[in-house]
């Protein structure tokens, strides 16, 4: 029961705004600050009444009414109006209470709270924020000078001065904590969103858009890792280049959509075959490059031969057409002596040997 009650309160406080020109985060921040300030003014009113400052206590209760109006406005798509009411209330209460009760009661620090709030507002320009902050600081300094030159109507005793100072310290700590929490949350959300976007862009930059296989750039980076592992741990790997036989005929006879379908279907077969064995990438056009990691050329040959036979037997159904294709592969073991580029070149040479000697084969 109690848990459900708190859930409803949380939902009420975190309610979104309907106006697209206003931000939910600012509205929620103002709501929490309004609640804290209502409590703050209420306790201040009790303190003032307790030391027989009844008229000042009543004035503080009026400030509670203004803060409550600001709170209500955050639910009626009037966040900007709510913020203005909130700021004006803090200014009036700060000036009035400081001049009447003196600098020692620490009411003056309320004048600095709006600076943090205005910087939280993403709709305000930085120029306006800086101007607002300058006006606040100048007003704060003027209030300090004026307060020390003015005879105060009410001067609390030492005990109540200490009590007020302690209360104010706790209150301002809470205000700053709430504002800092919202700043931190907002910053973390922006950081997480940016990180997700960057991760998405990184993935998009490393994958072939059609087949969703690693692209040539990604594969080159992967090859550098394999070479590093070979040089430091002796882990062997093989490189194979494959090409779809008579791919141009498919595009000419069935259209480029059919060609794209063939490539994406092959990519799915490659992913299944290479899982746990290495990597397959689209090298360019209808060409693919494979890396077989931690295995010899003979072992890689067996896998490629099995893959070649699967492709040969498979019927690729595109619309009303049943298309059969074959592929030719050139396979080469990596050699530290000649390096990765030369190993790829040798695999490519074997691919074209297979092309010129009948196609549909693995040349090793």
Asked if 238 and 291 touch (Cβ cutoff 8 Å), the reply is yes
Q: How confident is the model at residue 155 (pLDDT cuts 50, 70, 90)?
A: low
Which residues neighbour 280 within 8 Å (Cβ) at sequence distance 6 or greater? 213, 214, 267, 270, 271, 273, 274, 288, 289, 290
Q: Is the pLDDT of residue 153 over 70?
A: no
Nearest to 247 by CA among 256, 239, 237: 256
What is the predicted pLDDT for the residue at 203?
Answer: 74
Q: Is the pLDDT of residue 325 over 80?
A: yes
Q: Is the pLDDT of residue 227 over 80?
A: yes
Asked if 296 and 232 touch (Cβ cutoff 8 Å), the reply is no
Q: Is the pLDDT of residue 268 over 60?
A: yes
Q: How confident is the model at residue 67 (pLDDT cuts 50, 70, 90)?
A: very high
Q: Which of 30-34, 163-167, 181-185, 359-363 is predicted with the least confidence, judged by mean pLDDT? A: 163-167
More confident residue, 1 or 138: 138
What is the predicted pLDDT for the residue at 281?
Answer: 96
Q: Which of 142-156, 218-232, 323-337 is predicted with the least confidence, judged by mean pLDDT? A: 142-156
Nearest 5°: phi and psi at 343?
-65, -40
More confident residue, 313 or 205: 313
Q: How confident is the model at residue 13 (pLDDT cuts 50, 70, 90)?
A: confident
Rg, Å, the chain Cα set:
36
Average pLDDT over residues 219-246: 94
Question: Cβ of 107: how many Cβ atoms within 10 Å?
Answer: 24
More confident residue, 124 or 127: 127
Give the predicted TM-score (pTM) of the model: 0.60
Average pLDDT over residues 212-223: 93
Q: Is the pLDDT of residue 156 over 60?
A: no
Q: Taking all residues of the chain, what is their mean pLDDT, rounded to a whole number?
A: 88
Q: Which of 52-66, 95-109, 286-300: highest mean pLDDT?
A: 286-300
Question: What burial class does residue 358 get, using C-beta atoms within 10 Å of its C-beta: 0-12 exposed, 13-18 middle, 19+ buried?
Answer: exposed
Q: How confident is the model at residue 19 (pLDDT cuts 50, 70, 90)?
A: low
What is the predicted pLDDT for the residue at 21?
Answer: 61
Show the beta-strand stretches assigned E in the chain.
Answer: 237-244, 278-284, 287-293, 316-318, 321-323, 327-333, 362-363
Structure tokens at 263: 């490539």
What is the predicted pLDDT for the residue at 286?
Answer: 94
Q: Is the pLDDT of residue 318 over 80?
A: yes
Condensed to tens digits (0 to 9), the pLDDT of residues 291-305 reads 999 999 999 999 999
More confident residue, 42 or 5: 42
Q: Which of 19-23, 204-208, 247-251 is predicted with the least confidence, judged by mean pLDDT? A: 19-23
What is the predicted pLDDT for the residue at 20?
Answer: 62
Q: Is the pLDDT of residue 351 over 60?
A: yes
What is the predicted pLDDT for the residue at 55?
Answer: 83
Which residues neighbour 3 within 8 Å (Cβ) at sequence distance 6 or greater? none
Average pLDDT over residues 61-76: 91
Average pLDDT over residues 306-312: 96
Average pLDDT over residues 84-99: 90
Q: Is the pLDDT of residue 1 over 70?
A: no
Asked if 332 and 297 touch (Cβ cutoff 8 Å), the reply is yes
């Amino acid at each position: 029961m109690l848990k459900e009650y708190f859930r409803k309160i949380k939902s009420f406080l975190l309610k979104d705004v309907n106006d697209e020109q206003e931000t939910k985060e600012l509205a929620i921040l103002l709501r929490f600050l309004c609640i804290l300030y209502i409590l703050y003014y209420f306790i201040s009113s009790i303190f003032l009444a307790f030391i027989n400052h009844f008229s000042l206590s009543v004035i503080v209760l009026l400030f509670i009414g203004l803060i409550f109006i600001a709170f209500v406005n955050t639910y009626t798509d009037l966040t900007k109006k709510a913020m203005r009411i909130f700021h004006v209330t803090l200014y009036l209460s700060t000036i009035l209470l400081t001049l009447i009760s003196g600098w020692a009661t620490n009411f003056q620090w309320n004048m600095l709270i709006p600076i943090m709030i205005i910087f939280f507002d993403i709709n305000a320009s930085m120029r306006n924020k800086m101007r607002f902050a300058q006006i606040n600081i100048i007003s704060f300094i003027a209030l300090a000078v004026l307060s020390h030159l003015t005879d105060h109507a009410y001067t609390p005793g030492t005990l109540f001065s200490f009590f007020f100072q302690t209360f104010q310290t706790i209150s301002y700590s809470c205000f700053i904590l709430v504002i800092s929490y919202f700043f931190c949350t907002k910053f973390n959300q922006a950081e997480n969103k940016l990180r997700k976007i960057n991760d998405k862009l990184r993935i998009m930059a490393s994958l072939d858009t059609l087949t969703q296989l690693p692209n040539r750039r990604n594969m080159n980076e992967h090859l550098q890792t394999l070479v590093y592992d070979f040089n430091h741990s002796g882990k062997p790997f093989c490189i194979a280049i494959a090409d779809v036989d008579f791919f141009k005929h498919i595009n000419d006879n069935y259209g480029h959509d059919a060609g794209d379908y063939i490539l994406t279907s092959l990519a799915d077969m490659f992913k299944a075959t290479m899982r746990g064995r290495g990597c397959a990438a689209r090298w360019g056009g209808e060409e693919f490059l494979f890396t077989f990691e931690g295995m010899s050329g003979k072992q890689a040959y067996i896998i490629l031969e099995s893959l070649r036979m699967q492709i040969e037997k498979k019927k690729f159904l595109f619309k009303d057409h049943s298309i059969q294709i074959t592929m030719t592969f050139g396979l080469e073991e990596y050699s530290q002596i000649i390096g990765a580029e030369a190993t790829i070149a040798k695999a490519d040479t074997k691919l074209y040997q297979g092309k010129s000697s009948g196609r549909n084969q693995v040349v090793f």
